Structure 1
Amino acid sequence: MFQSFDDHSDPSCGAPRAALLRAELRRRSLDGFLVPRADAHQGEYVPPHDCRLQWLTGFAGSAGVAAVLGDEAAIFVDGRYTLQVRDQVDMAVFPAQHLIEAPLTGWLAERLKPGQRLGFDPMLHPINEVRRLKAVCDAAGAELVAVDGNPLDAVWEGRPAAPRGAVALYPEHHAGRSASDKIAEIQGIVARKGASASVLTQPDSVAWLLNIRGSDVSHTPLPLSFAILPAEGRPQLFIRSEKLSNSVRSTLSDLVDIEEEGAFLSGLARLGATGAKVLVDPNLAGQAIADAIVKAGGTLVEGAEPVLLPKARKNAQELEGSRAAHRRDGAAFVQFLAWFDEHALSGELDEISAAEKLEHFRAQTGVLKDISFDTISGAGPNGAICHYRVSRASNLPIPVGKPFLIDSGAQYEDGTTDITRTLAVGEMTAEMKRHYTLVLKGHIGISTARFPVGTTGAQLDVLARIALWKAGLDYDHGTGHGVGSYLSVHEGPQRIAKTGVVPLEPGMILSNEPGYYPAGEYGIRLENLEIVTGPGPIEGGERAMLGFETLTLAPFDRRLIDVDLLTAEERRWVDAYHARVLDELAPLLADPILTWLEEATLPL
């Protein structure tokens, strides 16, 4: 199993560990300290070695930050985790705050006093975040202090070792381009930005650029590393040497100069000492990176990391690989759906057994590298927790009479998948069907959208919500995230959300996943992955428009659809999608699964 169901969160640890940290802060003459859920790369998945927020508070979500002052503390999470945080954290020690509605900066502004010293680890906080924090401290007459050595690490007994996962070369027939070609393209971007070099802090950017993959974090094939990419000349790769076999090192040495990861900041200082203008992404690069460059005499050129957009625009081979991965994954998922239908009413299934069985069907493909994230297997009230992670402690039986939500994905060498379906278990109420159909209408709204060049995800987001809004309902997460090619299942900069400001471009892959979550009852989410298609003509129109090609292949549960709530066009879309699912997956399936799929995809 790639997924573990052990729960390492313990709310009772919050009080004694906060006391340990406060004692260390007093020793360092600090009045407070910030503990983000982040490593030096600002990645979604961090190795156990860097799970500081979880060690301190018990919170295991993928985004959050704790503030610890002398006599008060708090933890800040976004809307995905408002329920989860209360289960995992001692609210008496770390009261939960909504990261957006009651942000950290506002909380600090009300509590910091003149002369106080607030500490932070400069590798764990991006440049722009530090600016906001400094402004708050300055206004309060307090000092924001970059620590030398994280005080939490000093009191963390039994801290896991840093990861040393082996690096593998990624075949060019999957990547679609050589590493040398990619390096030349990115060097051109750096030069056009008026910089003499760029810093790459995102491991997936380094992996994409050099056509390598790794195994340093769960579910994403990342080699944790940094790189310096000059506008001219050889790049530098900073990575632990034990991750590289002789053959991998030999191949990479033809492209880059290889140094130890620990030499990264000194490498930046050497670069700064030449007076270089260095392109740095202020939303991703830690403050320590900027300090190393500037203090040595370099100049920052602030802008987006230059790999992000080229990586997001998948080439023809990457897209063909993703289509193949989704056909394979769709066949495995349909086997799961048929199995689930056969056993769901027995009362013997629970959240863990469902997640295990789905991983089993994917493993039977023979080419599964990993799952792309911990499967969200939510029965009853757990389905209402948007990013619920089932553990042996939280595991619930799957009840009859409520929808069951399962959000999962896989990592194959030719593509990354992510799919959510909500399934009927027994008789569904009219209200459940209504909620499901409103979510489905939003899903169809995105899938069928046509939009001009330059359109952002924020402009499309309303299409997924309007049916829910008209019913006085909504969901507290984005509608879609970018997806990588055998890389991160959550990839930027593209997204469909109220905050999605990057124009969508052909070749980008995004999720389409509206939902609705009545707290304490059940959850509904419907997710497919979509490719942004190139501008195409519309009959009778004046402008060519972008659109979406759906990658994911699996039926929606027709038993949960209130057909009367769908327009004729929406019904035609469902029928056409189901016909395509059957057509593409039938060659990969045999009876009785094929017969099940034929029935599941009958016209509405």
Structure 2
Amino acid sequence: MFQSFEDSARPEQGPPRLESLRAELAREGLSGWLVPRADRFQGEYVAPTDERLAWLTGFTGSAGWCVALAERAGLFVDGRYRVQARAQAAEAFEIVHWPETGLAEWITGALGGAGRIGFDPWLVTVEQKRKLSEALGQIALVPCENLIDRVWTDRPAPPMGRIRAHPESLAGRAHADKIADLAQGLGGARHAVITLPDSVAWLLNIRGSDIPRNPVPHAMAILHGDARVTLFVEAGKLEELGDHLGAQVTVAPPQSLGDALAGLDGPVRIDPASCPVALAQILADAGLKIIEGEDPCLLPKARKTEAELAGMRAAQLRDGAAMVRFLAWLDAEAPGDLTEIAVVRKLEAERRAGNELLDISFDTIAGAGAHGAIVHYRVTERTDAALEAGQLLLVDSGGQYADGTTDITRTVPIGQVGEEERQNFTRVLRGMIAISRLRWPKGLAGRDLDAFARAPLWEAGLDYGHGTGHGVGVYLSVHEGPQRLARTGTVPFEPGMILSNEPGFYREGAYGIRIENLIAVARAPDLPGGTVEEMFVFETLTYVPIDRRLVVPEMLTRPERDWLDAYHATCRARLEPLVEGTVRDWLIAATEPL
């Protein structure tokens, strides 16, 4: 369970692997090679067979790039991953702060005005190539066979996970209806290419098992304007699906995708943000007109049906009871002789206790002390640390259930912690409460709301290097777009969208704090005298006590205290019937008014 890909991507392996790649660069006459953290489907999550960035550099985060040149190699990571990258990557790789420093800026600085940078056209999107080409000027981007694959001699085989039907009772809509609706809105195109695994899963009401923790299939699809779909997938994955797909869906082998695209009658719609360069080139070579537009599944998938919202509420409640049992156990046992791995095992055991957990929704983050400052820390046998009195423990985790996906973070004290930790916890809590209490007019996006979560930290000269929230799927990917609660979020919020609300603070080398609930966008009730025609609020979905021992009450305003007390009263009312004995006693104590 804890021997991860990190164990086959250790820092000492980086230099010889980099030298093997450089030998291939010289053989091809290239100045450098791009290594994105991506696969041909362009989802956020990749299978072990596609962990090229981790294999080369040792860095196992879920976003980043490497640019390997003859004399230099840059590992580009954003604020979530810089501590992790410094800990994992070999010294041969410069850690580059991205996007503050762009790939093109770094490459041109290293090469000057000329050079040839190779890339795999299946792993780079149309939009990425366009922006990078414009910024590189006279430095050419050269598509070619993947050079990493030439030298990765023990690369894992592609996954062959089974595909199952997702019940219409949980989806809220038949997939035939989804296909018909989307086919009518292709914006002048006769076909649309869909590459994202979660889009394919949502459209066809199926779930897969090709990606760890994410129930999505490795499959692509063409949505046709006459309300048909061609699904490109290995037939062996469909053995349990029966006749679920129906007559509207034709199954074809993945290797036939190129010929199928070339044989279409255009125009053909692609999403430049998720369509690989290789697919667009097939269409261009066939002389087909290309229309660029957003993946047609993205917004409908984000607007959850009433059935999906009901399922998510039920999943959060079930998961909340497991969290309460875990937190009660942790309070009774810590620090003792517990380690981070013991914490992870206990939490997963509590989630599995009800026999409804299908998988965890991501590898549990259990960061004690300084490990809590690594935003996406993942414990392994090599990094496992003991819990010690006076530390903060950050636990970010979630579950995959048939009716919903959960994602929750709680930060708890191991014994008495310092005043700085309590003050910063309270600042983070104030930001989380601010988002929970927001009321805003229709048309605003994540970039308009993100500052409310940061303001209490900004008052103290503090901040955090990740977004405040991401979209969440329903028994799909725990990270789902297109909506984001972040400075980069430009998609206006609409009713039914589900997001995380997770401000934080991280003191490198010391501790990390994050508090996370899931929230859903809902229409706000009209107010007497109000003049704004339509306003929205967030419905809180997650109900698990927030550790009151870390709160400095004097730092909260009266409305903030009232919100926290009301939240805890609801936690008690909803969870008390689901627990008993000492766990029930713990819950009652943990939800007392501040």
- TM-score range normalised by the length of the shorter chain: over 0.9
Find the residue that maps to 2:568 and give its secondary structure: helix
1:154 lines up with 2:150 in the alignment = yes
Q: Could you tell me whether the CA contact under 8 Å between 1:534 and 1:546 is conserved in 2?
A: yes
1:297 lines up with 2:287 in the alignment = yes
Q: For residue 237 of structure 1, what is the aligned residue in structure 2?
A: 231
Find the residue that maps to 2:563 and give its secondary structure: helix
Find the residue that maps to 1:83 and give its secondary structure: helix
Q: Could you tell me whether the CA contact under 8 Å between 1:538 and 1:545 is conserved in 2?
A: no
Q: Cα distance 1:187–1:338, how it changes in 2: closer, same or farther (>3 A)?
A: same
Q: For residue 211 of structure 2, what is the aligned residue in structure 1?
A: 217
Q: For residue 145 of structure 1, what is the aligned residue in structure 2?
A: 142
Superposed displacement of residue 244, structure 1: 1.1
Q: Matches of 2:554 and 2:524 in 1, distance apart?
A: 33
Q: Matches of 2:4 and 2:587 in 1, distance apart?
A: 30
Superposed displacement of residue 8, structure 1: 3.3
Find the residue that maps to 1:145 and give its secondary structure: strand
Q: Which amino acid aligns with 2:7?
A: D
Q: For residue 347 of structure 2, what is the aligned residue in structure 1?
A: 358
Aligned residue among 254, 264, 276 for 1:261: 254
Q: Which amino acid aligns with 1:563?
A: P
Find the residue that maps to 1:80 and give its secondary structure: coil
Find the residue that maps to 2:367 and give its secondary structure: strand
Aligned residue among 563, 571, 577 for 1:573: 563
1:97 lines up with 2:96 in the alignment = yes
Q: Which amino acid aligns with 1:244?
A: L
Q: For residue 120 of structure 1, what is the aligned residue in structure 2?
A: 119
Q: For residue 132 of structure 2, what is the aligned residue in structure 1?
A: 133
Q: For residue 20 of structure 2, what is the aligned residue in structure 1?
A: 20
Q: Matches of 1:136 and 1:587 in 2, distance apart?
A: 59
1:398 lines up with 2:387 in the alignment = yes
Find the residue that maps to 2:366 and give its secondary structure: strand
Aligned residue among 549, 552, 555 for 2:539: 549
Within 5 A, what are the aligned runs for 1:293-372?
A: 293-346=283-336, 348-372=337-361
Q: Matches of 2:243 and 2:586 in 1, distance apart?
A: 51
Q: Matches of 1:37 and 1:546 in 2, distance apart?
A: 36
Name which of structure 1's ranges 230-239 and 450-459 shifts more when overlaid on structure 2. Answer: 230-239
Q: Could you tell me whether the CA contact under 8 Å between 1:6 and 1:392 is conserved in 2?
A: no
Find the residue that maps to 1:356 and give its secondary structure: helix
Within 5 A, what are the aligned runs for 1:34-113?
A: 34-91=34-91, 93-113=92-112
Name which of structure 1's ranges 324-333 and 295-304 shifts more when overlaid on structure 2. Answer: 295-304
Within 5 A, what are the aligned runs for 1:182-581?
A: 182-190=178-186, 193-245=187-239, 248=241, 250-271=243-264, 274=265, 276-346=266-336, 348-543=337-532, 544-581=534-571
After the TM superposition, which parts of structure 1 deviate over 6 Å for at least 4 consecutive aligned residues? none
Q: Matches of 1:442 and 1:114 in 2, distance apart?
A: 46
Q: Could you tell me whether the CA contact under 8 Å between 2:271 and 2:295 is conserved in 1?
A: yes
Superposed displacement of residue 345, structure 1: 3.5
Percent sequence identity over aligned pairs = 50
Name which of structure 1's ranges 452-461 and 101-110 shifts more when overlaid on structure 2. Answer: 101-110
Q: Could you tell me whether the CA contact under 8 Å between 1:2 and 1:370 is conserved in 2?
A: no
Q: Matches of 1:257 and 1:29 in 2, distance apart?
A: 43
Superposed displacement of residue 540, structure 1: 3.3
Name which of structure 1's ranges 42-51 and 466-475 shifts more when overlaid on structure 2. Answer: 42-51
Name which of structure 1's ranges 370-379 and 530-539 shifts more when overlaid on structure 2. Answer: 530-539
Q: Which amino acid aligns with 1:537?
A: D
Q: Matches of 1:233 and 1:352 in 2, distance apart?
A: 49
Q: Matches of 2:23 and 2:304 in 1, distance apart?
A: 50
Q: How many residue pairs are counted as aligned between the two chains?
A: 593
1:589 lines up with 2:575 in the alignment = no
Structure 2 stretches lacking a partner, 5+ long = none
Superposed displacement of residue 114, structure 1: 5.3
Q: Cα distance 1:266–1:405, how it changes in 2: closer, same or farther (>3 A)?
A: same
Q: Which amino acid aligns with 1:175?
A: A
Superposed displacement of residue 254, structure 1: 2.1
Superposed displacement of residue 135, structure 1: 1.9
Q: Matches of 2:287 and 2:216 in 1, distance apart?
A: 32
Q: Could you tell me whether the CA contact under 8 Å between 2:364 and 2:378 is conserved in 1?
A: yes
Q: Matches of 1:2 and 1:68 in 2, distance apart?
A: 30
Find the residue that maps to 2:282 and give its secondary structure: helix
Q: Matches of 2:242 and 2:224 in 1, distance apart?
A: 20
Q: Could you tell me whether the CA contact under 8 Å between 1:507 and 1:531 is conserved in 2?
A: yes
Q: Which amino acid aligns with 1:298?
A: L
Pairwise CA RMSD: 1.4
Superposed displacement of residue 115, structure 1: 5.2
Name which of structure 1's ranges 374-383 and 37-46 shifts more when overlaid on structure 2. Answer: 37-46
Q: Cα distance 1:423–1:503, how it changes in 2: closer, same or farther (>3 A)?
A: same
Q: Matches of 2:114 and 2:428 in 1, distance apart?
A: 52
Superposed displacement of residue 265, structure 1: 2.3
Superposed displacement of residue 29, structure 1: 2.2
Q: Which amino acid aligns with 1:250?
A: D
Superposed displacement of residue 536, structure 1: 2.3
Deviations 1:531-581 (A, max 9, x none): 101242124322242001111110000000000000000000000000001
